[in-house]
């Protein structure tokens, strides 16, 4: 697991006088790590940089969605965005009508 590497990178950055951040750590990792995992490990590191990381206490890496699910989600996401725009327009119209009353 990459927890040990995240700790190693965070400690190296701190030794260089830099404040470890998600972006800095991510740029120095040898492989991809999910953002929730990286953020969780960094938060733990900030609480106690000297602790030994325990892999089993971290949330598992998220499983990517199958491509057919992603394809099905796209039209739904577009519909949600269209409805959000429509709701915003309706709110504006309602506000204008209330101003005229």
End-to-end Cα, the chain, rounded Å: 63
> Which phi and psi (to 5°) does residue 45 adopt?
-60, -45
DSSP state of 31: S
- In this prediction the pTM is 0.52
- Token digits for 2? 């990459």
R_g of the chain, CA atoms, integer Å: 22
Asked if 14 contacts 20 with a C-beta cutoff of 8 angstroms, the reply is yes
pLDDT in tens, the chain (101 residues): 578 889 999 999 999 999 999 999 999 998 888 888 899 899 989 988 887 766 555 556 667 888 898 889 889 999 999 999 999 999 999 999 999 87
């Amino acid at each position: 697991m990459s927890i040990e590497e995240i700790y190693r990178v965070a400690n190296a950055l701190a030794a260089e006088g830099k404040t470890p951040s998600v972006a800095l750590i991510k740029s120095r990792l040898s492989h991809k790590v999910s953002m929730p995992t990286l953020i969780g490990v960094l938060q733990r590191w900030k609480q106690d940089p000297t602790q030994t990381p325990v892999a089993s206490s971290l949330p598992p890496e998220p499983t990517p969605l199958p491509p057919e699910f992603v394809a099905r989600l796209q039209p739904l996401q577009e519909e949600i965005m269209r409805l959000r725009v429509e709701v915003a327009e309706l709110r504006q119209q309602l506000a204008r009508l209330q101003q005229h009353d």
